[in-house]
Chain A
């Protein structure tokens, strides 16, 4: 019957694999192919230019700018999101009062979980549009309005948020404001992820730690964190991908999609500009291929660094 099983399995897999090859793998290959041409995107003619597009890529000032902006997000988005998510998850699961028996979260943790998770159910574009109102740059904005009322901000000089290219700690302010939204919208999901992981840690480990006199601080750093290593590592890779994208926020929220004056330019916005505004599809594909290679290398590196022996419980 071995033969019959193989045929059965093949029969089921053939169609999905074919669809996947045609709609996912083939376009990848096509884009790689276009990246070696000077195709404009609208005509039927294209000239093979070899690696010219890739050579050009390295001397493109805009791409260099976009690269460093993406690197900024690559470092900060996972760092702040994971830190905040871990903090919240810890409070909601094991951070409750210590004076009673048992391990529990802070009072009302069920409600907090729903609230923190809420941004995750909204589309990123909806989030961006909503934050546009919060970040509004005059007295009618939520933040500006409040700060002007209590006198912390001068009404003649309100916070410009995503229209502010002035550097803060060497990075344009607009990127910090976008980072804030990315962390706010991402933390809830990773909080739930870490909560699930924390709940699978046996309670007796915590009880043993408490009996030994460990406080919240020590339980977190000596018990919880080491046992969450796998989840955090996965979260880091996912957030890395998000950091290399950031397209929706930049596209909806910044002036001239990457502005002001290129202060929030990222890979995706440069690709979009070259492909759809400038009509240089070949070059845009080359940037996209370079970005894909960069992403894959980064993910591989990340997973390799964090690979350790697992603890089974």
Chain B
């Protein structure tokens, strides 16, 4: 009949589907209980029991087999096949059955309660909800992996990981998810062009504002960003706030603390962005992510702010001789945490609690996180691995610059949690970020409006509140 009632019915059909899915989730522990009643031992493992040593810290038994499932998405699965070679060099008598898929939840969730794979890369659009997995006891805590010796370097596995990787995989005080990839955000530029023009990449706002007229004189816009998806500029704005005022200010913002946005220095931290817009240093037009990235590649803008997936995303259209290089978000004098870098780990592996060969699964993780394995990962995916120094020997400017950015940064990582906590504030902050970048708000107005939006969420009793501690 009409369009509107159809939509109305559509929502209802979806709720129906979601209820069915929810019922399915409930059925998982129920199935577990049933099988427990049948007398099986849920956490029995038949792969372990061999003598433990530095080269075999979990006591994996020779002749056992391990089933590894890899998510075959944007990063491909070739790197995982290389890890298999590395693993088998040390353990020739353990069979690795590796398969790759994009349908992690569809294929793995039904097996979780009975006979799961030993190691699952829980990633992509069809991933299993992490909190649900942990709350239902479906995946194994991997704290012993962290304390195990690293595969091919000194110290423990935990020592070999980039900052944040352990925290990102920890929930309720235990380490569950082993993230193998690493994303860094910052300002990108074309090093070849900068060399040719004799420009030095700025590290502070002052240096940028001094360089900007020279860039403009060449007929280029100094800066471009995604003007459609508000979370793109939001990364940059929060990097500036964190660097200027320090971590506690952002934690307070995340916790909706009274007057958190009015903290000293937040307005000043955002003023360079206001100036950037007012001085007309942005490329004209309201471009989306790929349009703005292409404009950057076409040499229409000198800088673009985005994460390290840029190289993979634009691989098909990068012009020859273009030296894509990432640099840290600019700081200004007097910043409290100028060295903190905006970065986080992702692409997580989990070991199901009922996996038959958990020892081998952990051993395989050790191989993935090894120096050799992470170097292959970086080389094949052009993304950093969560292991330190994965990009050391890769001849790729994008990767090498991200690698050195991480090396020069401090160990504290910039992160913002409130967008994951509160949908209203997520949307509002995206909208206001774009408004600021469109020149319709001043830094002061932006801060006032963010405070008002945060107050509104804090007062709304229908919204469940969350707390950030670290």
Report A's interface with B, CB cutoff 8 A. Answer: 23-24, 27-28, 30-31, 34, 38, 41-44, 136-140, 144, 155-158, 160-161, 163, 165, 241-242, 244-245, 247, 255-256, 259-262, 268, 271, 273, 275, 277-281, 283-285, 288-289, 291-292, 295, 299
Q: How far is the CA of A292 from the CA of B431 in the complex (A)?
A: 29
Cβ of A31 and Cβ of B15 under 8 Å apart? yes
Chain B residue at minimal CB-CB distance from A285 = B11
A260-B431 CB under 8 A given contacts A157-B284, A247-B7: yes
Give the chain B neighbours of A41 by CB distance below 8 A: 15, 18
From residue 9 to 30 of chain B, which have CB atoms closer than 8 A to chain A? 9, 11-13, 15-16, 18-19, 22-23, 26
Report B's interface with A, CB cutoff 8 A. Answer: 2-5, 7-9, 11-13, 15-16, 18-19, 22-23, 26, 227-230, 280, 283-287, 291, 295, 423-424, 426-427, 430-432, 434-435, 438, 440, 462
What are some 15 contacts across the A-B interface (CB < 8 A)? A27-B9, A27-B16, A28-B12, A31-B8, A31-B11, A137-B286, A138-B285, A158-B285, A245-B4, A260-B438, A275-B11, A280-B462, A288-B11, A291-B4, A295-B4
Cβ of B284 and Cβ of A279 under 8 Å apart? no
A241-B285 CB under 8 A given contacts A28-B9, A256-B431: no
Name the one of A158, A241, A260, A281 contacting B15, with C-beta atoms under 8 angstroms.
A281
A262-B431 CB under 8 A given contacts A281-B15, A285-B11: yes
Give the chain A neighbours of B440 by CB distance below 8 A: 165, 261
Give the chain B neighbours of A255 by CB distance below 8 A: 227-230, 286, 434
Min distance, Cβ B143 to any Cβ of chain A, angstroms: 29
A30-B431 CB under 8 A given contacts A256-B230, A280-B462: no
Cβ of A138 and Cβ of B295 under 8 Å apart? yes
Cβ of B285 and Cβ of A137 under 8 Å apart? yes
Name the one of B2, B7, B11, B286 contacting A163, with C-beta atoms under 8 angstroms.
B286
Q: How far is the CA of A241 from the CA of B155 in the complex (A)?
A: 67
Name the one of A31, A43, A139 contacting B12, with C-beta atoms under 8 angstroms.
A31
Give the chain B neighbours of A245 by CB distance below 8 A: 3-4, 7
Min distance, Cβ A148 to any Cβ of chain B, angstroms: 10
A34-B2 CB under 8 A given contacts A44-B26, A137-B285, A247-B7: no
Q: Which of A137, A157, A242 has the most CB of B within 10 A?
A: A137
Give the chain A neighbours of B18 by CB distance below 8 A: 41-42
Cβ of A27 and Cβ of B12 under 8 Å apart? yes
Min distance, Cβ A147 to any Cβ of chain B, angstroms: 13
Q: Which of B5, B12, B423, B427 has the most CB of A within 10 A?
A: B12
Min distance, Cβ A223 to any Cβ of chain B, angstroms: 32
Cβ of B15 and Cβ of A34 under 8 Å apart? yes
Give the chain A neighbours of B286 by CB distance below 8 A: 137, 160-161, 163, 255
Q: How far is the CA of A279 from the CA of B230 in the complex (A)?
A: 20
Cβ of B228 and Cβ of A163 under 8 Å apart? yes
Name the one of A34, A140, A242 contacting B3, with C-beta atoms under 8 angstroms.
A242
Give the chain B neighbours of A140 by CB distance below 8 A: 291
Give the chain B neighbours of A144 by CB distance below 8 A: 285
